[in-house]
Amino acid sequence: MKKLIVFTVVLLTIVAFTTVRAEVLPDFLADLPVTGGRYWFVGSTHPNSSDDNTGDPGMHSWEYPFQTINKAIDASTARSTTSGSEYPGDVIVVYPGHTEDLDAATDLVPDVAGLTIIGLGEGEGRPRLDFTGVDGSILISGAGTVIDNIILENQIDNVVENIAVGATYVTLRNIEIRDKAGTSGLIFVMVDNANTADNLTIEDCIFTHISGTENGDCSIEIDDAQDRVTIRRCRFYGDCDEAPIISDAVCTNMLLENLYVENTVAGGYAIELTAACTGFMDNVLAYTDDAATAIDPGSLKLGSDVKISMGVDLPPIPFPTSGTRINAGIIDVYVQSGSDTTIVDEALCGYPNDYFNYGWTVKFADSDGTGINVDVTDFVAATGTLTVDTTGETPAAGDRVILSFNPLMSDVVSATDLTNEVPDGSVLSYILDDAGDTSNYDDAKHSLYAIGTDTDALIEDVAALTLASGLPYIMATQDSATDTTSIIDLTYAGYGNDFFNTGWVATCLLNADSVGNAPEGQTRDITDYDSTTGDFTTAAFGAAIGTGDKFFIYYDPLKATAASTDLTNYFPDNSAMAWILDDGGDTSGFVGTTHSLVAIGDDTDAILADTVTISGGALPAAPTASSLATFIASGGTALGTALASSKSLVDAIGTNGTTVADTATGVAGMIGVNDADNVMDTSTVVANQDGSVFERLEQLMRMQPQVAETTSVALTGG
């Protein structure tokens, strides 16, 4: 029996699809939606188009399309309407380039249940329906109707409504509804009559209003209560006196998602829903000129990505613009306007009043590019205005600043009840109390101010004891504002005039009026002390000394040494310093004019003046008497020819005073001194007309008889 049932179901399925595909379609129509009914074809530009065609599948109906869509609707057969799952029914295929004029409410009436009207083509090649009369409209009364991929264009002003939806489970998909330049339709899609349009879906559509003689009213208007209306992945442009999306009645279980909605009418809404509307809204960007009137979501639940854009150069503002938004702690703020104490960014409007008052800081760059951190002291939600501590700088419109949260400032600095704000056993509780119990904390005793006050008093006591015990430092606090050279503290009067004059210095530890600035951190020598007034005179500090400035006054033995005028008494004999001053460790032998570093240096310079400067290539103009310089240049300032490399005066002279160096380049060698016994032994000199002095004389002597004979012969022959 089961096998018979299964066979019967399969057979019925085959018969059904045989009915659907009884007409074999060409390849270019292969992607058409599957239908449980018939395919009908419409194409006003096709050469065979006519409303007299029958659409008979046996006649290749795609080659004999109807002239108008309404004719195809009349030929269609309704499908079951018991539930949306049984749709679609017949499919009307509209060819690319098809156009129709609609000037009356009866020109196009999809009243067949389950009907799909789908246009072929892309961009401006899609079918286009032109509205040429104010009453031209598409009146949808067939449940489950789908209209897909068609352009609707208003050719005149004040077209009342392009599409009127009066049936359930209607889908409008990939439709572009627009005004032609210079025209303006009133309502693109009207949904009225309570619950007659439940489960309406509008998706992937584009709506464009262009101001003609007046603005449009809206793109989509839901005039009566409906359930489960979905609007998604759509874009809305232009001027709407009411709103691109508006409901005048309670709609339940709505879904608005992935929408870009613009309304350029001043103060106009982008989305305006009745207060009791329910459902969800997410991934919506609305563009208007006023954040306060951009979106009215009724009672829809909002997702995390609903925003308002108010300008080309402005970042979107999270919606809602007032309420209980929270943030993780860092916000990128876009400055719309500001002063040295205020920063305005309407993107902050969604946070409650005073939300940023405690623990929030603003960081931005000043005119020098240096980062500035200022605390936020107030926040006004209505305008997105932050009040900050004065900065001395004015952020410019378009600047970006960082608004950041400091939990320590919020929970501790701004806390008024540390016992409740700081849990026992926390790190901070152990800073406040050694047992981690903040109830033991008494600010009158344990605060840093109280501890500091007690410490100041202790310092004064220690300083007094220090002087009494002979330890070389004190702590002074300025009694009154003075100039840059006077430290006055009556606490230290009475030590005797000039007590601190030698070897004492003062370092400013604190500038009470301007921490970190001069004279803080500067050290100066004390040059005088008035015992009556406790006035320490110092070398000038970098800024005037003010009341409450604190000074560390201490004794510097090295400075005292430098200032001493009696070294004999100051340094004991045989001390380390005494041995530096005198080779016997007796400072009485030290004479400054002879033994000081300056005196030693002067003597060294005198020696160097006549010796070292020779190697430098020049002699003194007036050499010191009996110095080496006088023997070399006799007072001249320029040197003669330098010795050859690696040669000395001994090599040039030919003797070192004891031994003769008989060389051709030495003076002795040129004369001809015998280097064997260092005597003038002329008897052994060899005649050489190119040799030394002696050798040449010997040559002359040898030649004398010959010269005499030659002369005699010459005379005789004469």
261-309 residue pLDDT tens: 999 999 899 999 999 999 999 999 999 988 878 999 999 999 888 888 8
126-137 residue pLDDT tens: 999 999 999 999
Task: Tell whether 661 is covered by a domain.
Answer: yes
584-597 residue pLDDT tens: 777 777 777 777 77
pLDDT band, residue 683 (cuts 50/70/90): low
Q: Check residues 565 and 268 and name the one with the higher pLDDT.
A: 268
pLDDT band, residue 389 (cuts 50/70/90): confident
Query: Which residue in the block uniquely carries the two structure tokens 């066979």?
Result: 7
Element (H, E) at 446: helix 443-446
Rounded-to-integer distance, Cα 620 and Cα 617, Å? 10
Query: Which residue in the block uniquely carries the two structure tokens 């065979």?
Result: 48
CATH of the domain at 192: 2.160.20.10
- What's the whole-number mean pLDDT along residues 665-674? 65
- What's the whole-number mean pLDDT along residues 153-164? 94
Would the pLDDT of 31 be above 50? yes
Task: Tell whether 573 is covered by a domain.
Answer: no
Q: Check residues 703 and 295 and name the one with the higher pLDDT.
A: 295
Task: Tell whether 507 is covered by a domain.
Answer: yes
Q: 274: which 2 tokens?
A: 């009745």
Beta bridge partners of 151: 128, 176
Q: Check residues 668 and 396 and name the one with the higher pLDDT.
A: 396
Task: Tell whether 699 is covered by a domain.
Answer: yes
Torsion of CA 545, 546, 552, 553, to 10 degrees: 50
How high is the pLDDT of residue 356?
Answer: 82
Same domain for 154 and 265? yes
Q: Check residues 651 and 416 and name the one with the higher pLDDT.
A: 651
- What's the whole-number mean pLDDT along residues 314-320? 75
How high is the pLDDT of residue 3?
Answer: 41
Tell me the pTM.
0.51
Would the pLDDT of 257 be above 60? yes
Same domain for 200 and 334? no
Same domain for 459 and 531? yes
Top-confidence range, 527-531, 552-556, 671-675:
527-531
Same domain for 388 and 338? yes
Task: Tell whether 591 is covered by a domain.
Answer: no
Would the pLDDT of 20 be above 50? no
- What's the whole-number mean pLDDT along residues 396-420? 66
Same domain for 292 and 347? no
Element (H, E) at 201: strand 201-203
Beta bridge partners of 187: 161, 218
120-151: string of b/e by CB count within 10 Å (b at 16+)?
bbeeeebbbbbbbbbebbbbbbbbbbbbbbbb
Lowest mean pLDDT among 68-77, 217-226, 310-319, 489-498: 310-319
Q: Cα–Cα distances in Å, from 249 out to 172, 230, 234, 279, 544?
A: 21, 16, 22, 14, 77
286-298: string of b/e by CB count within 10 Å (b at 16+)?
bbbeebebbbbbb
Rounded-to-integer distance, Cα 31 and Cα 179, Å? 31
- What's the whole-number mean pLDDT along residues 542-564? 80
Q: 512: which 2 tokens?
A: 């009470």
Percentage of the chain beyond pLDDT 90 is 35
Of 126, 128, 136, nearest to 185 (Cα)? 136
Helices (H), 121-160: none
- What's the whole-number mean pLDDT along residues 140-152? 97
The mean pLDDT of the chain is 79
Would the pLDDT of 5 be above 60? no
Same domain for 211 and 309? yes
Would the pLDDT of 169 be above 50? yes
Of 385, 388, 431, 392, nearest to 408 (Cα)? 431
Q: Cα–Cα distances in Å, from 429 out to 21, 417, 432?
A: 82, 13, 5
- What's the whole-number mean pLDDT along residues 482-498? 88
Same domain for 213 and 358? no
User: How many domains in the chain?
Assistant: 4
Of 173, 316, 291, 150, nearest to 231 (Cα)? 173
Q: 565: which 2 tokens?
A: 């005028």
Cβ contact 37:91 at 8 Å: yes
Lowest mean pLDDT among 99-113, 225-239, 553-567: 553-567
Of 101, 163, 105, nearest to 132 (Cα)? 101
How high is the pLDDT of residue 321?
Answer: 62
pLDDT band, residue 2 (cuts 50/70/90): very low
The conformational region for residue 390 under phi > 0 = left, psi -120 to 50 = alpha, else beta, is: beta
Same domain for 57 and 179? yes
pLDDT band, residue 516 (cuts 50/70/90): confident
Amino acid identity of residue 105, one-letter, is A
Element (H, E) at 167: none
At 374 the three-state DSSP class reads strand
Backbone angles phi, psi at 98, to 5 degrees: -65, 140
pLDDT band, residue 636 (cuts 50/70/90): low
Task: Tell whether 601 is covered by a domain.
Answer: no
| Cβ-proximal residues to 680 (8 Å cutoff; 6+ apart), any chain | 673, 674, 694
How high is the pLDDT of residue 612?
Answer: 45
Would the pLDDT of 613 be above 90? no
Query: Which residue in the block uniquely carries the two structure tokens 């803080």?
Result: 520
Cβ contact 306:319 at 8 Å: yes
Element (H, E) at 328: none
Beta bridge partners of 210: none
How high is the pLDDT of residue 651?
Answer: 73
Rounded-to-integer distance, Cα 510 and Cα 506, Å? 12
Same domain for 384 and 474? no
53-101 residue pLDDT tens: 987 766 668 899 999 999 999 999 988 655 444 546 899 999 999 999 9
- What's the whole-number mean pLDDT along residues 185-193? 92
Q: Check residues 2 and 557 and name the one with the higher pLDDT.
A: 557
Same domain for 335 and 289? no
Rounded-to-integer distance, Cα 437 and Cα 425, Å? 7
Half-sphere exposure of 680 (CA within 13 A, CB side): 4
Domain boundary among 295, 317, 339: 317
At 655 the three-state DSSP class reads strand
Q: 326: which 2 tokens?
A: 């929270």
Q: Quick one: how many helices (H) and strands (E) in the chain?
A: 17, 37
Rounded-to-integer distance, Cα 32 and Cα 117, Å? 11
Backbone angles phi, psi at 133, to 5 degrees: -135, 150
How high is the pLDDT of residue 71?
Answer: 95
Domain boundary among 287, 317, 347: 317
Q: Residue 462 is part of which domain span?
A: 449-563
- What's the whole-number mean pLDDT along residues 324-334? 63
Task: Tell whether 226 is covered by a domain.
Answer: yes
Task: Tell whether 116 is covered by a domain.
Answer: yes
Of 45, 43, 126, nearest to 55 (Cα)? 43
Same domain for 171 and 79? yes
Q: Cα–Cα distances in Å, from 227 out to 167, 297, 361?
A: 12, 16, 47
Domain boundary among 351, 386, 405: 405
Rounded-to-integer distance, Cα 87 and Cα 117, Å? 13
Percentage of the chain beyond pLDDT 70 is 71
Same domain for 65 and 132? yes
Would the pLDDT of 40 be above 60? yes
How high is the pLDDT of residue 335?
Answer: 80
How high is the pLDDT of residue 362?
Answer: 84
C-alpha triplet 345, 346, 352: angle, nearest 5°: 105
